[in-house]
Amino acid sequence: MIIIPARLHSSRFFQKILCNIGGVPMFIATAKKALAVDEVCIGVDDEFVFELSRKYGFKAILTSTKHESGTDRIQEVCEKLCLQDDELIINIQADEPFIELENLQKFKEFSQSYLPEEAFMTSCYKNISKEAAQESNLVKVVCDNDDFALYFSRAKIPYEREEYKDNFKGHLGIYAYTVGALKEFCSLKSSSLEKCEKLEQLRALQNGKKIKMLQLYTQSIGIDTKEDYEKALQIFENKL
């Protein structure tokens, strides 16, 4: 199942999930894309967004407004749906309406191959330029030789004391885990690294959990700011 956490109020871009993408709200555009790959449920924190989800024919769960992360919101959705611990959940952020269908399918198959025996959770990245790696809104990841995540940061990593000949990796906001792993993750205390960087995946790493990463070739842009939204519309206007 794909669960999309849809929080109405965003600190960097006011009510961004309602922005128009191809004639529908952004979170609905994301849900429509996801529906071609798996069953979809939207976890919302607002009655208006709940009714809007239903209007477009999507299953939705109204969750607490007090959750500090999308993962906590997904955990509540799983509880209310009474999902079994071995069910695989794919977490797609509501601000990823341009992710390609073939990449969603590839990520689903990749996650089914590695979870839960070889990894605690899975996620993905794309190669980015050195210039893009300096943008703090774009999270970077460094991996070991088997593409398990070593660290995520808003800073440019690795830091270049001398020329770095590998590719910089931009993290994409898509995760997968079993319901059982999700319960365990949410039971862990927020870590110091998570609080510092405001990146919840660091909670898993700081507790010794393995995150297997998949490289994707994608043109998708996650919408974090109004500038991201305007840039995306220019790039994808002929595909909407």
Residue found by looking up tokens 């191959």 in the block: 113
Alpha carbon distance 204, 55 (integer Å): 36
Query: What predicted TM-score, i.e. pTM, was given to this entire model?
Result: 0.93
- Backbone phi, then psi, for 53, in 5-degree steps? -60, -45
Residue found by looking up tokens 């994608």 in the block: 218
Question: pLDDT of 75-84, one tens digit each?
Answer: 999 999 999 9
User: Mind listing the pLDDT tens digit of every residue in the chain (240 residues)?
Assistant: 999 999 998 877 889 999 999 999 999 999 999 999 999 999 999 999 999 999 999 999 999 998 888 899 999 999 999 999 999 999 999 999 999 999 999 999 999 999 999 999 999 999 999 999 999 989 999 999 999 999 999 999 999 999 898 999 999 989 999 999 999 999 999 889 999 999 999 999 999 999 999 999 999 888 888 888 998 888 887 666
